[in-house]
Structure 1
């Protein structure tokens, strides 16, 4: 997936008293949210997080990247995650083994709500639950989003 840019001063603070999250803080955040990846590693250099390993699905891959990037003090996430081939259909061609397409991403602006984003992107504000579900468990309430937060858009 490459590099993703985030708003460094947005997001939840992890750890105690520091703006810079540690690799242990970030791994704990991913685990707390229930995401798993084989051979999962997280490295931090300045405000850039590099993540690698094998995610069980494209959705989990994207959610891991967002969980790491939507942390206060993180400006970039370098995604070196791959998607497990174990769940690919037996008759899949090599080009089709990462079956699920990548999602679009949206950075929340001041005044946004999930219904406003759904109206802008889908033409229907009542489609906000699709955005909410695509961002669970990072979002616990559809009314609690903040400027600078990056969301998955299915």
Structure 2
């Protein structure tokens, strides 16, 4: 799937990001331990999404903010959602999504900016604002309500 970039300051706050970043830049002896703690938190968050990923392995590098995913997803959609779940975590600047999945059609992605709504995004990609539920469903369970999107969040825009 490749490497995707994210806004590092936006997203779910799952771990002590400042602690990890400071340890990584100062060369503290507990950097590996802190990176593993962050990777475990991200892995737990992905697993809570119930995407069916088997053998999920998550790595985190606090110095670069990069997450690496490995394992096997039941579909391209599940692999994409796992990548988005990892990337939409505070202090993550990129995700190298190496999850394996059966062949399918590729999705587009949208970075939420100020003033965006799911309806406006649907209008942009599909030409019909009333197709916002397609985008909402494609981003569940990371999205819990169509009105709860935030600036910097990356959304999956599936093909119709």
Q: What interval of TM-score do these two structures reach, taking the shorter chain for normalisation?
A: 0.7 to 0.9
Distance (whole Å) between structure 1 residues aligned to residue 114 and residue 105 of structure 2: 29
Correspondences of 1:43-58 after superposition (within 5 Å) = 43-46=59-62, 47-58=65-76
Q: Is the contact made by 1:30 and 1:36 (CA closer than 8 Å) also made in structure 2?
A: no
Distance (whole Å) between structure 2 residues aligned to residue 136 and residue 39 of structure 1: 21
1:65-87 CA-partner distances (Å, limit 9, x unpaired): 00000000000000111115xxx
2:96 equivalent to 1:78: yes
If each structure's strand is expressed as a fraction of its own residues, which one has the higher value?
A: 1
Which residue of 121, 124, 148 corresponds with 1:144?
A: 148
Shift of 1:35: 2.1
Specify the SS of the correspondent of 1:83: coil
Shift of 1:18: 3.2
Correspondences of 1:17-36 after superposition (within 5 Å) = 17-19=16-18, 20=20, 22-36=38-52
Distance (whole Å) between structure 2 residues aligned to residue 75 and residue 34 of structure 1: 23
TM-score by length of 2: 0.83
Q: Is the contact made by 1:131 and 1:152 (CA closer than 8 Å) also made in structure 2?
A: yes
Deviates more, 1:56-65 or 1:75-84: 75-84
2:11 equivalent to 1:8: no
TM-score by length of 1: 0.86
Q: Is the contact made by 2:70 and 2:99 (CA closer than 8 Å) also made in structure 1?
A: yes
Q: Is the contact made by 1:42 and 1:50 (CA closer than 8 Å) also made in structure 2?
A: yes
If each structure's helix is expressed as a fraction of its own residues, which one has the higher value?
A: 2
Moved over 4 A (4+): none
Q: Is the contact made by 2:17 and 2:90 (CA closer than 8 Å) also made in structure 1?
A: no
Q: Extract unaligned runs of 5+ from structure 1.
A: 85-97
Matched length:
139
